[in-house]
Amino acid sequence: MKILILHQDIDGGTKNATEAIIEELKKEYPQHKFIIYKQKDPIVKGRLQYTRHLLWSIFDFYKYLNKKTLKDVDCVYFNIYSCAVAKYLSQHKNTPSFFHFHGNQEFVKTLESEKKRSWLGKFYNKFLGNIVNKLQRFAFSYSDKVCFVSAFAKNQFIKQHKMQEYSHKTLVIPNGVNFKHFFPATNKEKKKALNKLSFINSKEKIITYSGRIDEKKGINKIILALKKYENKDIHFFIIHPNPREKQSIFYKKWLEEIIEKNDLKSRIHFFENPKNITSFYQISDLVILPSEREYFSLVLLESFACGASFIGSKVGFIPEFLRKIDSRLILDKNTPSEIAKKLQWYFSLKQSERNEISKKGNTVSKSFDWSSTAKKIFMELKQLVN
């Protein structure tokens, strides 16, 4: 079987998940051919440059379609922005398509930066958001199968876009975690990792955010929560990829201003593209994600896989997972006050109680692995071809 895989090279959960699935597919099914097209990440900051990159991408896609390697492709596995190519193959070559939906790209309008945006900026954001939504609906409507990462994601998308007539072709396959990369550390390994961070001593606690510098993730709320929860023994680590988009760069500067204003510079630390993100999870007491929009959080699984606990907002797969461990880990509201209360509650627990939470989370996370995800996807692709 010859499978064409189309995805984007943009840092984030979707890219990480897709590449993990591709790796497992190749390993599990070496007798089949996987043709991979990865759309390049635009290293641009302006609207004009981004538009130019988008037009170049369309042309590059068209050239790729005419390669001899695409002859007799049996099916197409793709994410949202490659849907036009998958549609071309579906129409002109009668090739079945599988749309893997990792997250809704709809723009969140409740953010502070969005409220403060100029009328021109709001118009542009709305215009871009409408295009993205149309692309999503377009991909959903013509695909032979649409795969969601959680039941929440499926139900919310179908309801929001009023696409109940297509629900018969949907399915849910959760993402996974790579247990070779994410695992608990021994006390000796933790001590060694902590020694490298000379500003941390054994009495201090570490809470961590891991992900893109993006206002939807609520990093500013964690910072303000630290001010309310006046425990000087708490350090906050922000682990993130290089912020390339203008919005992310401005947001990081705003975070730095909040940190400076609240006299928290000695307790909050940015780590950009760390070589070993696993070691940060391993030494963390708690990972926090007060996100406004999250369909499936890989950070959630990675944290528990490394032996850290996790507190997250009531969105997407997060509450569904956390209820299996301890419902008190769920944030009822995404506010600094609520986060501060959760920190107060968590660190008031005995060490044995905290250990029990992280241990249970580690056990539950083991039922989510990429090998299982890839096998389920392959079986669906096989059914499409047959």
Q: What is the mean pLDDT of the chain?
A: 85
The pLDDT of residue 29 is 96
Mapped onto helix, strand or coil, the DSSP state of residue 217 is helix
* Stretch 315-325: mean pLDDT: 92
The pLDDT of residue 335 is 93
Helix (H) or strand (E) holding 170, with range, is strand 170-172
The pLDDT of residue 120 is 67
Of residues 115 and 195, the one with the higher pLDDT is: 195
Q: pLDDT digit string (tens) for 3-37?
A: 989 887 776 778 889 999 999 999 999 999 999 88
* pTM summary value: 0.85
Q: pLDDT digit string (tens) for 131-142?
A: 777 777 888 888
Q: CA angle 156-162-164, nearest 5°?
A: 85
2-176+369-385 against 187-365: fold identical:
yes
**CA pair distance 295, 312, nearest whole angstrom:** 12
Q: pLDDT digit string (tens) for 165-199?
A: 989 999 999 999 999 999 999 988 888 888 888 77
| CATH architecture for segment(s) 187-365 | 3-Layer(aba) Sandwich (3.40)
- Pick from 8-12, 78-82, 362-366 the range whose average pLDDT is largest: 362-366
**Percentage of the chain with pLDDT > 70?**
85
**Percentage of the chain with pLDDT > 90?**
50
The pLDDT of residue 118 is 65
The pLDDT of residue 52 is 74
Region for 104 from its dihedrals, namely left if φ exceeds 0, alpha if ψ lies in -120 to 50, beta otherwise: beta
The pLDDT of residue 193 is 86
The domain segmentation of the chain, as residue ranges, is: 2-176+369-385, 187-365
From 73, 98, 90, 86, select the one nearest 21 (Cα to Cα). Answer: 98
| Sheet strands (E) in the chain | 2-8, 33-39, 75-78, 97-101, 145-148, 170-172, 205-210, 234-240, 268-272, 286-289, 309-313, 330-331
* Stretch 299-320: mean pLDDT: 94
Fold of the CATH domain 2-176+369-385: Rossmann fold (3.40.50)
Q: CA angle 358-361-363, nearest 5°?
A: 115
pLDDT higher than 80, residue 296: yes
The pLDDT of residue 363 is 96
With cut-offs at 50, 70 and 90, classify the pLDDT of residue 91. Answer: low
